[in-house]
């Protein structure tokens, strides 16, 4: 793979979860699944993604929410592009602040059962139900495209209209209906976008979701550079036989392969 390295950081943080804790435990388990001898390091495109492709910055225990921004900013000075392992979805706002600082407004592909557009949730503006409201208010994203949504409340629909968010709702999902991007993107992947049958290890089981294959196809169809990505909301406390950790590891591999193929 030459000298090209992808940054990797784990954020051990789930204090902004509204329903149950657990995602703070995820990063080391996703790494373990990635390196499991039950599988090899080849992506489906035939790229071998051995551990030396990573510039691994390790896992961070977070005390103060906005530490996530400074940690990410520091790591971004050392790599060209980075994948962040969460953690609950609240981490995406401070990560995006750091990404914006480096790249300017990015276009975001957000795959999730939920829009995460609440102005505040249970009194917290930084809840994992709110990161995309904060991102849009701060104009960190040029464009926000959400895919897999199946829980849109009236309040969130109003927010989506206000911020000009594009939504491919799960009920209308068709791979060909996903609009194309023409600039580099940031990919934010909430594992609860998947049907719980494929990924039981999440806090919020929302039936009727994407299959593992559909998410892989969305990733594989990206034809612009990916400047950064996160995989969030994996909750090991809810997993069965580590199945969801293998799903996360598979996505990590396919996103990394895509980052290498569509280099900035």
Q: CA-to-CA distance for 27 and 12, rounded, in angstroms?
A: 7
- Shortest distance (Å) from residue 113 CB to Mn ion: 5
Query: Contact at 8 Å (CB) between 242 and 33?
Result: yes
- Shortest distance (Å) from residue 131 CB to Mn ion: 7
Tokens representing residue 50 in the block: 């051995």
Tokens representing residue 234 in the block: 């994996």
Closer Cβ to Mn ion, 191 or 256, answer by number: 191
Rule CB under 5 A: which residues touch Mn ion?
89, 112-114, 116, 190, 192
- Shortest distance (Å) from residue 192 CB to Mn ion: 4
Closer Cβ to Mn ion, 69 or 190, answer by number: 190
Calculate the CA 240 to chain-centre distance. Answer: 21
Q: CA-to-CA distance for 89 and 13, rounded, in angstroms?
A: 9
In DSSP terms, 164 is beta-bridged to: none
- Shortest distance (Å) from residue 107 CB to Mn ion: 18
Query: Contact at 8 Å (CB) between 244 and 199?
Result: yes
Closer Cβ to Mn ion, 31 or 114, answer by number: 114
Calculate the CA 74 to chain-centre distance. Answer: 20
- Shortest distance (Å) from residue 231 CB to Mn ion: 11
Q: CA-to-CA distance for 130 and 124, rounded, in angstroms?
A: 8
Closer Cβ to Mn ion, 129 or 219, answer by number: 129
Closer Cβ to Mn ion, 47 or 114, answer by number: 114
């Amino acid at each position: 793979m030459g000298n090209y390295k992808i940054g990797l950081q784990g954020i051990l943080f789930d204090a902004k979860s509204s329903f149950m804790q657990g995602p703070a435990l995820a990063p080391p388990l996703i790494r373990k699944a990635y390196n499991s001898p039950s599988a090899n390091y080849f992506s489906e495109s035939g790229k071998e993604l051995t551990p030396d492709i990573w510039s691994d910055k390790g896992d961070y225990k977070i005390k103060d929410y906005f530490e996530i921004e400074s940690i990410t900013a520091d790591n971004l000075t050392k790599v060209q592009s980075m994948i962040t392992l969460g953690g609950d979805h609240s981490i995406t706002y401070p990560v995006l602040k750091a990404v914006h600082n480096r790249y300017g407004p990015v276009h975001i592909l957000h795959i999730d059962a939920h829009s995460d557009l609440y102005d505040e949730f249970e009194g917290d503006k930084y809840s994992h139900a709110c990161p995309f409201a904060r991102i849009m208010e701060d104009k960190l994203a040029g464009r926000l495209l959400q895919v897999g949504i199946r829980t849109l409340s009236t309040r969130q629909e109003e927010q989506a209209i206000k911020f000009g968010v594009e939504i491919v709702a799960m009920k209308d999902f068709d791979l060909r209906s996903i609009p194309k991007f023409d600039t580099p993107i940031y990919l934010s992947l909430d594992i609860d976008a998947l049907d719980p049958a494929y990924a039981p290890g999440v806090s919020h089981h929302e039936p009727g979701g994407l299959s593992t294959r559909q998410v892989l196809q969305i990733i594989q169809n990206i034809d612009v550079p990916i400047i950064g990505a996160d995989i969030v909301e994996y909750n090991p406390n809810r997993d069965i036989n580590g199945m969801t950790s293998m799903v996360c590891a598979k996505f990590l591999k396919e996103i990394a392969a895509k980052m290498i193929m569509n280099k900035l």
